[in-house]
Chains A and B, each alone.
Chain A
């Protein structure tokens, strides 16, 4: 079924159109972006049951954007009425455009505002609101109990489901765009304890859709519990360079953190990305082709971005050569390129930045078992924990939960934890020598720009084999 539209947007659309029209009387360009979203978190763990709308997922409001003095200004609000239109127009001209008056301003053109109009929705099989809170909690409670019963050493088993249904409206002089989208995600985590040290094992997943995701959860709880126990016997790793096979989740973290952030073109505008100097050059093994965008159905699939640019499938690396970055509207204007539909906001309350969407490597032709068999003395890296971008210097800062030892092409059963990946991004990407024949994407988490601006993304790819410096 199609994801349902927002009655709030439907009812107030004429007022938002009037607001844009009033602003257009004063400014060469004006737009309004409206967001009405509702999302819930469900969790069952030893600490109890939680059912709560999430304040990041559940927002309702709008942002107006105007072009004044060669530069842009925005006002975020959530009240809309005939009277409010006058107030907003007066605040924009009386206060907003006068902020930072003594500062020299960046100079931009007025954006191309091609006439486009549509209303589109993604699909979901089971609508969470119809499925009901009770059924979701019942399923999670069963899974929690299953995880706790796996072994007496399990300290806690936490199972969580989240979903968000969002409706967005973008209006400018020539654009009238509406979209209704739903994503769902889950995570199963298990804690075990060794002395004071608490080990965490988790698996997660996500879809563009609704509660049909519940079918994916069962096996993940058992898997998380098994790994949680294995982690109790883990050892610290000896720092050094290793031949590594990465699971699709770890590949996703490398794609996203190590390389993806570096091709966000607002970083090009600020002279903060080394990638800008490498467009047209080899930055990875010829086995590597990397995408960002709407060619897959995942948590960051949408029809238009938060600045009214239609979404794209952008090929970032083509057979090892960096061919394109991704951009928001303002960065594209500054660089004289075409926007790629990557202008995203944490919410209507925040500025738009260039952000990734669904970012992944295309699969190769190898079998996973052949990849492991080809490693004489190395590691299988699993369970990404965290990562941080370094677009300026392409330094790698990623952490994974653990690594399994491989000797003479076989897993020995020994595991090391935690693992810090370090080194230089192109060195890692150029060292990729094998890629498995299928890809997996996941988007259970959020991506920040630095330490803020959280947006939903997904990432992934195939298993890859590469040389990586570990600590």
Chain B
């Protein structure tokens, strides 16, 4: 970091922001139960943003340009990049904005039980946890990739920001396979920032069962309108819509009409009201703004926008940083009761998309459980869901069962009523 700052000063750069990142990782790749590749990584990179203030016809502008550097570069190379960024910034005529208030802080080590072990030891524990559940008679683990990471981020700005943190996390993906009566598979990924071995075991157990169920599913759902139940990652994916629409980068250009104090769940809410907080996944966002838990939506009413310094300034609000973690209040209906009514519980899509711009959520169904409301359940596969948050948000039903993921804590499932399904 010091070398980058010295070069910026030598180049007489007035305003800058440097984000220096060091990454270490241990990575293991398995096919069935055999270790197929071992990998380690240890490297660094930094992003340097150079700002340039200008005035034209009485209007103030603040331009910026970004370059990427790393410790292997010579001083001359870095200097050349900084100068090119300064030049480029001089014709990036974005309207003037103020920088976020500078923050100074000692290095923060994100609290986690992952800090008690070497990266390779953590990897061994997760491998053992995953394969400890691989004993189903029919379904089994086809392949597994594990990435145990340690990231150190140091951010310094010309305005006085100087913050840093270290965070460890575990990311992985696995494929479960079942060969009889049909040869099918299920893909799952996971991310934890704690030694969440029992969560991984539960995920593996559920996924193996889901895969065995898919192997016996032959029928497509009948085409028509259904009350759809989405759970786990699909549930949190849909509710990312609110986080995206409340981002200043959506509000400033007019993609989103979200206003603080207004109802963002639509008029005449018949179902559960949304209650959501922003959670903290890293201590500082990418502009060095300190993150803290905040009220986001209360009873469907928006409490805050979020995002970076430029668009926040344009909108006349304090920049609070970009939040990617949501904490949501539980509903009143248990999953078991939810599934007593007629519904289509889609547990696996080949891909699931929530488009925050047009409000549509859609995906091809790999496995769904159709509950007929009379106590009968049928496994179905194929066809697709095509819904709209605008049409469904007034009548949501949240489960009292909860889930905890790296970027979402809240109800495990939600019912979206009267959603179009393509099928037979």
Are A and B subunits of one complex?
yes
A: which residues have CB within 8 A of B?
8, 45-55, 58-61, 71-80, 91, 95-97, 99-100, 102-106, 133-134, 137-138, 155-156, 191, 193, 195-200, 236, 239-240, 269-272, 274, 330, 349, 351, 386-388, 390, 392-393, 395-397, 399, 418, 420, 422, 450-452, 469-471
Q: How far is the CA of A76 from the CA of B184 in the complex (A)?
A: 35
Tell me if B31 and A71 are in contact (CB < 8 A): no
Q: Is B218 an interface residue (CB 8 A)?
A: no
Cβ of A260 to closest chain B Cβ, rounded Å: 15
Measured between alpha carbons, how far is A198 from B251 in the docked complex, in Å? Answer: 12
Cβ-defined partner of A390 (8 Å) among B91, B123, B183, B350: B350
Are B253 and A60 in contact (CB-based, < 8 A)? Answer: no
A270-B143 in contact (CB<8A): yes
Residues of A within 8 A of B73 (CB): 60
Interface residues on B, range: 35 or more
B33/A73 in contact, CB under 8 A: no
CB of B180 within 8 Å of the partner chain: no
Q: Write the nearest CB–CB distance from B290 to chain A, whole angstroms.
A: 23
Residues on B lying within 8 angstroms of A by beta carbon are: 23, 26-31, 33-45, 47, 63, 65-68, 70-73, 84, 87-89, 91-95, 120, 123-124, 127, 142-143, 173, 175, 177, 183-185, 187, 189, 223, 249, 252-255, 257, 310-311, 349-351, 353, 355, 357-360, 362-364, 366, 382-386, 390, 420-423
A236 CA to B225 CA, complexed, in Å: 13
Instruction: Report the 3 A-B pairs with minimum CB-CB distance, sorted nearest first.
Output: A471-B422, A388-B351, A239-B422
Contact among B71, B91, B255, B383 with A422 in the assembled complex (CB-CB below 8 Å): B383
* A395-B364, A418-B360 known; A51 vs B88 contact (CB < 8 Å): yes
Q: Which residues of A are found within 8 Å of B127, using beta-carbon distances?
A: 100, 103
Smallest Cβ-Cβ distance to A103: which chain B residue = B35
**Cross-chain contact B35 with A351 (CB below 8 angstroms):** no
**B27, B65, B95, B189: the one within 8 Å of A451 (CB):** B189
Are B420 and A239 within 8 A (Cβ)?
A: yes
Q: A106-B36, A420-B422 are in contact. Are A270 and B68 (CB under 8 A)?
A: no
Tell whether, in the assembled complex, residue A103 and residue B34 are in contact, meaning their CB atoms are under 8 Å apart: yes
Chain B residues lying within 8 Å of A269, measured Cβ to Cβ, are 31
**CA–CA, A390 and B310, complex, Å:** 41
Name the residue among A73, A393, A469 with the largest chain B CB count within 10 angstroms. Answer: A393
Cβ-closest chain B residue relative to A349: B41
Q: Which residue of B lies closest to A105 (CB)?
A: B35
**CA separation between A239 and B142, bound complex, in Å?**
34
Whether A471 and B185, one on each chain, are in contact in the complex, defined by CB atoms closer than 8 angstroms, is: no
Give chain A residues whose Cβ lies under 8 Å from the Cβ of B310: 48
Q: Are B66 and A351 in contact, CB atoms less than 8 angstroms apart? A: no
A392–B348 alpha-carbon span in the complex (Å): 14
Whether A102 lies near B124 (C-beta < 8 A) is yes
- A432 to B321, alpha carbons, bound, how many Å? 50
Q: Nearest chain-B residue to A424 (Cβ)?
A: B382
A393/B72 contact (C-beta < 8 A), A76-B41, A349-B41, A422-B364 known: no
Which one of A97, A387, A392 lies within 8 Å of B185 (CB-CB)?
A392
B252 to chain A, nearest CB (A): 6
Q: Which residue of A lies closest to B258 (CB)?
A: A196
Q: A75, B39: Cβ atoms under 8 Å? A: yes
B59 to chain A, nearest CB (A): 14
Q: How far is the CA of A195 from the CA of B388 in the complex (A)?
A: 13
